[in-house]
Amino acid sequence: MSSVAAALQHHFADFKQQKESAVLGMWSFLVQEVMFFGGLFVTYVVLRSQYPHAFAEASGLLDVNLGGVNTIVLICSSLTMAMAVHAASTGNRGGIAFWLFLTILFGSIFLGVKVVEYKEKWDHGLIPGIQEEGLKFDHETHLPRPTGFALYFALYFAMTGLHAIHMIIGIPILAILAVNGLRGKYGPEYYTPVEMTGLYWHFVDIVWIFLFPLLYLIGAHGAH
Amino acid sequence: MSTPTHQASPPHEEENYLTHDTSIQSWLLTKDHKRIALLYLFSVTLFFIVGGVFASLVRLELLTPAGDLLSSEFYNQAFTSHGVMMIFFFLIPAVPAVLGNFLVPLMVGAKDLAFPRINLASWYIFMVGAGFAVFAVLTGGLDTGWTLYPPYSSTYSQSRVTWAVAGVFVAGFASILTGVNFIATVHRMRAPGLTWFRLPLFVWAHYATSLVMVLGTPVIAITMVLLGLERVFGFGFFDPAKGGDPVLFQHLFWFYSHPAVYIMILPAMGVISEIISTFSRQKLFGYSFVAMSSLAIAILGFLVWGHHLFTTSQSPYTGILFSALTFLVAIPSAIKAFNWTATLYKGSVSWETPMLFAFGFMGLFLIGGLTGLFLATMGMDIHLQDTYFVVAHFHYVMVGGGVMGYMGGLHFWWPKITGKMYSNFWSKLSAMFIFAGFNFTFFPQFLLGYMGMPRRYHSYPEEWQVLNVMSSVGASILAIGYILPAIYLTSSLFFGRKAPVNPWGATGLEWQTASPPPPHNFHETPVVTTEAYDYQSLPLSATPEPAEARHV
């Protein structure tokens, strides 16, 4: 497989060294991602501990069903991603493209649902700094919102927005991998790009596994 | 250090990394770590000049007690621009991205860093970030102080905060990618026989620095995102009127920005370890302690950020903890200083230019470090917070430490990087100008701060003028010290004597390949059989050049 031999970069002694370097580099990068999201989670912890009731009340306005569906969709996309890595490691061209296509599909469904949710927040005036009526007054009872209510939505958009940006970056990479996979660039000797992208994709999914309960489920007990 | 490769001796016809392809494209698309190091060298030098111009404006204004030369608004912009350019676009990349980029692969006996394309990308990302910041500084100015504290930065400042915040955010990823690259390289690219405890201490220092870059920089990045959202959309995370917490910003900011000091100082310490052992012609005393102290500083550096918040709403009990942890940083720092000193003992010490910078580092960093303990003491800090004492302290650490290390390293490896020797006389003069000028500039500021002169004002009571004039005169001497290298280093490129393979008679793999090195560093992958700094078994061919190389 000449294309595989060409995939060994000049400064590595062999494929083993190249792959080990890539794996270590990717994990280091994911550590930095943990710290990147970590700053947001710290902000969440600090502000929620100051306004637990306002956060619970605001959380009650999210659609748990849509969030739950999205959680399942993302977990499915992690499964198909893992299948794609497996297909790449066995050199199964059609398999790589098929599983990556499914991963892209699930990722797109997730983002589509997110658009629906954001649209709903827009309609209810829950966008800090842009559409704020709903953040100031409850449109049914006309009571003012408690302090911290708007902060919850600021965090909601910052956290889910940053998560969505990570998915939007991931999807074109998956598409490139699918094309390369069809062309037979990956096989048992060399499938590092698929595996590394897999690590990234799983990481993005895991972030959502934390976001879902912290944002959607805290209103479940005793908000009203 | 390893079996020497004598094939590198015919220096005339051999192609090196500078000459093998000279097209502009070959530079802008290069994946060679040595060329990327040079791209960084030009860039950080440019930003050093920008930052230096603003520093000159600050010192000119402070010549007289009245705020006459610059308006208070422009004075705010001057010191802010000075800080932002110097910290984010000079000090943080200077040693790792220039010297580290050039030397880490050479020192571990590799052909390149683990990820050459990412290395090139990091330079472009850095330049985009720097472009934003320079745009902010030159078009609308930035007047928040480099610390960007809200609510001033988020709500009230009329200057180009958003652009500067974007610049810091983007440039941060350059730093992260450099760190990732170094970590993978040190773990996976070491030459056969080069075990962890045979690594030069420069590599250990860069490894520790990389950990700080990868763990710390993303936090400033997300903090900049939050600040940007706050400023553009009024999200309110840091706005008390909306229930937010301005002190939260300070916590997030210093969680990175305190460790960032170690991004500036740790690699410089690595440089000093190399220089001290080379010019003492001894194995560095306490090698493993010096190596581990780098890691200890990197780890402890993450636990001390609260000492910047002693005068905020932070609880005094938390403050006690942060104060105690800050004192702990003195231990690994002192381990380094004492081991360097012990290396000199019974060493065959020679006074080459890099060694002068190393001695300068030791003196200045000692003062910088010890005055840090004053500031870590909570009672003292209440008095000294936001005074010139703090300004003097961090200049002693970051300039006295970081820049002295950078200058020392640049002079130490200049023959390797360019293949040319520079003037001994002028370089030693420069080292002495910098040392003298630096002390003249910043020592008076300790006194001013102790007397209560606050930082960031363009006017002051008349009784402080003498010390301020001393400081400004010192800054002029310092400026001459920095302008000199620009002249003699540049002229060495054209008129300098050709550098031998190993002009200082140093150990280390980088001294066993040609000066400048061939495109792929080594003709054969070196095999390492001994520990670092093995001066006892150094072959005779590698002893330093006699006569004119050693003496003025």
**ipTM of the complex in this document:** 0.94
C-alpha closest to that of B202 among B275, B144, B130 = B275
Contact (CB<8Å) A158/B226:
yes
A14–chain B Cβ distance below 8 A for any pair = no
The pLDDT value recorded for residue B549 is 43
Please list every residue in chain A whose beta carbon sits closer than 8 Å to the beta carbon of residue B244.
47, 151
Planar angle of CA B16, A10, B209, nearest 5 degrees: 80
Give the sign of the dihedral formed by CA B300, CA B301, CA B302, CA B308.
positive
Q: Mean pLDDT of all residues in chain B?
A: 93
The pLDDT value recorded for residue B547 is 41
Percent of chain B with pLDDT over 70: 95
Q: Which tokens in the block code for residue B432?
A: 């002495």
* DSSP letter string, B502-521: -TT---SGGGGS-SSPPTTS
Contact (CB<8Å) A128/B111:
no
Please list every residue in chain A whose beta carbon sits closer than 8 Å to the beta carbon of residue B237.
43, 47, 151, 154-155
Contact (CB<8Å) A11/B110:
yes
A162–chain B Cβ distance below 8 A for any pair = yes
| CA gap A182, B320 in Å, rounded | 61
The pLDDT value recorded for residue B10 is 47
Contact B64, B85 (CB under 8 A): no
Contact (CB<8Å) A17/B181:
no
Residue of A28, A42, A128 with shortest CB distance to B236: A128
The contacts of residue B13 (CB under 8 Å, 6+ apart) are none
Contact (CB<8Å) A40/B226:
yes
Contact (CB<8Å) B243/A47:
yes
Choosing among A15, A23, A29, which should be mutated to test the B contact, i.e. which has the most B CBs within 10 A?
A29
Percent of chain A with pLDDT over 90: 84
Per-residue pLDDT at A223 exceeds 50: no
Residue of B225, B235, B248 with shortest CB distance to A129: B235
Percent of chain B with pLDDT over 90: 93
- Per-residue pLDDT, averaged over B290-297, amounts to 97
> Does residue B517 have a cis bond before it (omega within 30 degrees)?
no
Choosing among B177, B183, B263, which should be mutated to test the A contact, i.e. which has the most A CBs within 10 A?
B183
| CA gap B454, B458 in Å, rounded | 10
The pLDDT value recorded for residue A5 is 57
Per-residue pLDDT at B218 exceeds 90: yes
| CA gap A18, A28 in Å, rounded | 15
Please list every residue in chain A whose beta carbon sits closer than 8 Å to the beta carbon of residue B222.
36-40
| CA gap B251, B234 in Å, rounded | 20
Contact (CB<8Å) A39/B218:
yes
Say what the pTM is.
0.94
Please list every residue in chain B whose beta carbon sits closer than 8 Å to the beta carbon of residue A42.
252
Contact B246, B151 (CB under 8 A): yes
pLDDT band at B552 (very low <50, low <70, confident <90, very high): very low
Contact (CB<8Å) A47/B111:
no
Contact (CB<8Å) B245/A51:
no
Alpha carbon A182 to its chain's center: 26
Q: SS3 for B454?
A: strand
The contacts of residue B266 (CB under 8 Å, 6+ apart) are B205, B206, B208, B209, B212, B294, B297, B298
Contact (CB<8Å) B232/A129:
yes
Contact B510, B107 (CB under 8 A): yes
Contact (CB<8Å) A47/B245:
yes
pLDDT band at A140 (very low <50, low <70, confident <90, very high): confident
Contact (CB<8Å) B188/A20:
yes
A20–chain B Cβ distance below 8 A for any pair = yes
The pLDDT value recorded for residue A221 is 58
Q: pLDDT digits over B432-457, tens only?
A: 999 999 999 999 999 999 999 999 99
Looking at residue B414, its amino acid is: W
Contact B76, B487 (CB under 8 A): no
Q: pLDDT digits over A169-205, tens only?
A: 999 999 999 999 999 999 998 999 999 999 999 999 9
Q: pLDDT digits over B61-114, tens only?
A: 999 999 999 999 999 999 999 999 999 999 999 999 999 999 999 999 999 999
Contact B256, B160 (CB under 8 A): no
Per-residue pLDDT at B511 exceeds 80: yes
Per-residue pLDDT at A98 exceeds 60: yes
The pLDDT value recorded for residue A131 is 87
Please list every residue in chain A whose beta carbon sits closer than 8 Å to the beta carbon of residue B179.
28, 32
pLDDT band at A7 (very low <50, low <70, confident <90, very high): confident
Rg (alpha carbons) of chain A, rounded to whole number: 21
Category of B220 on φ-ψ map: left (φ > 0), alpha (ψ -120 to 50) or beta = alpha
Phi, psi torsion values for A174, nearest 5 degrees = -60, -40
Q: Which tokens in the block code for residue A4?
A: 């595989």
Q: pLDDT digits over B148-205, tens only?
A: 999 999 999 999 999 999 999 999 999 999 999 999 999 999 999 999 999 999 999 9
Choosing among B242, B250, B263, B302, which should be mutated to test the A contact, i.e. which has the most A CBs within 10 A?
B242
Q: Kindly report which listed range (A174-178, A205-209, B3-7, B275-279) carries the lowest average pLDDT score.
A: B3-7
Please list every residue in chain A whose beta carbon sits closer than 8 Å to the beta carbon of residue B234.
128-129
- Per-residue pLDDT, averaged over A129-146, amounts to 89
The pLDDT value recorded for residue B538 is 66
- Distance, in angstroms, between A74 CA and closest chain B CA? 24
pLDDT band at A139 (very low <50, low <70, confident <90, very high): confident
Please list every residue in chain B whose beta carbon sits closer than 8 Å to the beta carbon of residue A38.
218-219, 222
C-alpha closest to that of B1 among B117, B106, B122 = B106
Q: pLDDT digits over A42-82, tens only?
A: 999 999 999 999 999 999 999 999 999 999 999 999 999 99
The pLDDT value recorded for residue B470 is 97
Spell B467-502 as b/e; 16+ CB within 10 A means b. bbebbbbbbebbbebbebbeebbeebeeebeebbbb
